[in-house]
Every structure is written in C-alpha cells, then in structure tokens.
C-alpha cells in the first residue's frame, strides 16, 4: 500500500496520483468500479461503464489552466488526450456575435483548451497512471470507512487511513477522496442544501419561469426549454411548502 491513498480513480484522483508519483511518492488509488481500462478511445466510448460516475457520458472541458499545469507537471498528457480524439477549442471561435473584435493578440494562445468525452479522457489518464511504476490502482475496491489517527490539532479529528470492505488499509497513510464519495458528500455540502423535508436546494437552469411545472415531494420541478431559453439563465429556489407534502418554488 502506498504512503498516499486516493479514494476514487476519476480524473482528479488519477492526475493527483500522477503528480505525486512524479515527485517520488508511492501512491495507491482505490476505485469502487471494477473492470479493466479500455484499450482505445473507441472502446472506451462504446463499452466502458462507470456506475459510480453520473456524468460519465457527458463531454468535459479541460480549461486552459489545466493544459498549462499539465504541460509543466506532466509533459505529454495533453498530447495523449489530443491523440485519443480530444479536440483543441479556441475561445475566439465561439464568441457571441455581440463581440465584434476577434483579432488575435500576443498571448491569446494560452486561452485554448481541450474538450473531449469523459470516457476517453479518463481512459487516457488511467493508462498513464497504470504505466507509472509509483502508482498502484486497485479497482473494484469499496471504501467502508476512515481510520482515525492521533489528532493533528486538539479537537480536530485526523483521518490517517481508510478501511475497505475486505481489509483495513495501513493507518499511517494519508488519504485523498473524491467529491462523489458518500462520506465526502456528507462532509462537504453546498451552502443552503439539505436532504431534510424542510430543506432548500438551488437549481440553475436556462429555462424561463413560464415553463416550470409543479414540483412533487422528493423531485425537482420539470422544465422544458422555451423561446429565449438560451439567453435567459435563471436561478430557482425550491423549499418545503406550508402544508405537509407540498413544495414552494420561486
């Protein structure tokens, strides 16, 4: 087991593992979803299933800062993404018509970014991590809990390791977890969000108010795109209504 453990083998965990391994650390990545990494981009898009990632089939934009950091810390990663089918995107080409000045200026090239399908992006990063001798990836390993060590500061719990469903990990290890892990979600909630029946959550959507339908308990309002939806971003607040089983939206 490596001296640093990542709970989750998504892009953030894989990139973090690659950077730490390049710095000389021994890293272990624990991923809940089982199965091998696809051999190529076509197979990744066609056959790879990641039940633990709700947004796995969506395209992802790796903004310009990503490329800048990767080129410095992990040379070659951006090139591998492009070779696998990801595309360079130029901000100047997607500016709205209301911006007439599209003349290039020195330094504008730094704002270009890579975009691609999530399965393809993750397959490239996973392959790079598997080829790194300082990284061990264990797939099909579910985290059962954290192991507490001596408090680093008085009164503040200190996570010193993880416990999997098959065996405990070394409690001397440092741990990093992704944001989709259940325990991570319990520790880090969006401001104002709650799962209680009297809670409030926020949704941002480009649909105008006239297209909203009534919400039912436990479900967000259904929205349909309407005229002008692309140019009318709006934020809605949904909370429990004054009577049991009712919702209030504004």
What is the four-CA torsion angle of 182, 183, 187, 188, rounded to 10 degrees? -30
How remote is the C-alpha of 198 from its chain's centroid? 28
Q: Is the pLDDT of residue 45 over 60?
A: yes
Tokens of 206: 């480009």
Q: Which of 233, 161, 168 is nearest to 202 (CA)?
A: 233
- Give the least confident one: 29-38, 100-109, 125-134, 138-147: 100-109
Global pTM reads 0.65
CA angle 181, 168, 54 (to 5 degrees): 15
Q: Is the pLDDT of residue 219 over 80?
A: no
Q: 172 versus 69: which is more confidently predicted? A: 69
Dihedral of CA 34/145/172/12: which sign? positive
- Give the least confident one: 104-108, 125-129, 163-167, 220-224: 220-224
Residue range 25-38: average pLDDT?
Answer: 94
Residue range 36-51: average pLDDT?
Answer: 91
Q: 194 versus 12: which is more confidently predicted? A: 12
How remote is the C-alpha of 244 from its chain's centroid? 36
User: What domains can be seen in the chain, in order of their start residue?
Assistant: 4-139 (3.50.50.60), 200-249 (no CATH)
Q: HSE on the CB side for 18, CA within 13 Å?
A: 25
- Reported as type and span, the H/E element at residue 12 is helix 11-22
DSSP designation for 145: E
């Amino acid at each position: 087991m490596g001296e640093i453990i990542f709970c989750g083998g998504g892009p953030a965990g894989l990139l973090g593992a690659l950077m730490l391994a390049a710095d000389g650390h021994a890293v272990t990545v624990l991923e809940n979803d089982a199965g091998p990494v696809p051999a190529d981009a076509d197979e990744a898009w066609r056959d790879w299933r990641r039940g633990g990632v709700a947004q796995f089939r969506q395209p992802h934009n790796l903004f310009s800062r990503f490329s800048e950091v990767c080129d410095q810390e992990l040379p070659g990663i951006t090139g591998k993404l492009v070779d696998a089918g990801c595309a360079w995107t130029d901000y100047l080409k997607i500016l709205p018509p209301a911006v007439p000045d599209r003349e290039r200026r020195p330094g504008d090239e730094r704002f270009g970014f890579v975009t691609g399908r999530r399965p393809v992006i993750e397959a490239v990063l996973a392959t790079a991590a598997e080829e790194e001798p300082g990284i061990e990836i264990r797939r099909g390993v579910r985290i059962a809990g954290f192991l507490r060590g001596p408090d680093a500061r008085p009164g503040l719990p200190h996570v010193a390791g993880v416990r999997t469903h098959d065996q405990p990990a070394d409690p001397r290890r440092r741990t990093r977890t992704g944001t989709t892990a259940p325990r991570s979600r319990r520790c880090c909630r969006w401001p104002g969000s709650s799962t209680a029946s009297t809670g409030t959550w926020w949704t941002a959507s480009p649909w105008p108010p006239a297209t909203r339908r009534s919400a039912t308990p436990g479900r967000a309002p259904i929205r349909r795109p309407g005229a002008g939806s692309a140019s009318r971003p709006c934020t809605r607040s949904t909370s429990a209504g004054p009577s049991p089983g009712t919702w209030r939206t504004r």
